[in-house]
Amino acid sequence: MSRLLPTARLASLMKAVVSMAAVFALSSCGEIEPEPPVDEDGEPIELPEPYDRWLEIVEISPAPGELALEPSIAVRFNDYIEDDSFRSYAFGALSSGGVVARGDADYVMTDKTVVWRPWRPLEPGLRYTFQTTGAVESATGSPFLQPAEWPAYVASRDQEPTSSTALPDARWDDVAPIFEGKCAECHRNPQAGLNPLTYESLQNAESQQTDLYLVRPADPADSYLMRKLLWDYADIEFVHQPPAWAGGEQLSREELLLIEGWIAGGARR
């Protein structure tokens, strides 16, 4: 007469048999690759290159430590940000337990930097952690790889408020000499057929290479002129300016900031 195995032991043996069967199945089929991601229409989604090509934070300043009650926090990235993925009011926040300090941010395209400021002064003595949104992406479409750790600060009355100005307050008279000195030789040659880069010619002027405007007042990141002037801006048609093949040199950081500040301020006369 056969003896029945206890229920617990029988269940254990069954699990072992199933596991062994799975091992044999995998060894006979080879390595199983995951299904490629698809969009809502079933089309394959192109994945970005390895991590070194993703959008990453290079530096956050100030460094962890004491923070002014009305601070400015600068976040510098390794690449330019896609304009449509950036939301000033939702870029970042300082949190301390259940206390959350939200604010506004300005994107300084020239420096690949976002400058964030809280709407209200921080509570002195509280320990805050700063964190940005994960929704931003690079101008080439790569997603944001968030850091493993975020900086922590202690709000202090002893720290002086930092400057709230991210870009210079520039008018046309400030930027006109840049175009005259670096661009006029070619752009104002009647035979070249180029935009002469005068104040009037830049108003409502569309690019000949894309569907963007050369200057979109209050939005430098969506102004094709800025993209052409930044030589390491990847998502661009045709050639950067001033062209290296014509002996041109990239504008200095100060010149680029002036032009960006002029556009950000509404491209005023």
Q: Per-residue confidence of the chain (269 residues) as pLDDT tens digits?
A: 444 444 444 444 444 444 444 434 433 334 434 455 566 677 765 655 544 578 999 999 999 999 999 999 999 999 999 988 999 999 999 999 999 999 999 999 999 999 999 999 999 999 999 999 999 999 888 999 999 999 999 999 999 887 666 799 999 999 999 998 888 777 877 777 788 888 998 888 888 778 889 999 999 999 999 999 998 888 666 678 887 767 778 899 999 999 999 999 999 99
- pLDDT reported for residue 183: 85
Burial class (CB in 10 A: 0-12, 13-18, 19+), 112: buried
Q: What does the pLDDT read at residue 6?
A: 47
Whether 100 contacts 122, CB under 8 Å: no
Cα torsion angle, 194, 197, 198, 199, sign: positive
CA-derived radius of gyration, the chain = 27
Instruction: Give 3-state DSSP helix, strand, coil % of the chain, rounded to 5.
Output: 30, 20, 50
pLDDT of residue 99: 95
pLDDT given for residue 170 in this prediction: 95
Q: How many angstroms separate the CA atoms of 30 and 56, rounded?
A: 36
The phi and psi torsions of 257 (rounded to 5 degrees) equal -65, -35
Could you tell me where the DSSP H helices lie in 125-198?
A: 172-182, 184-187
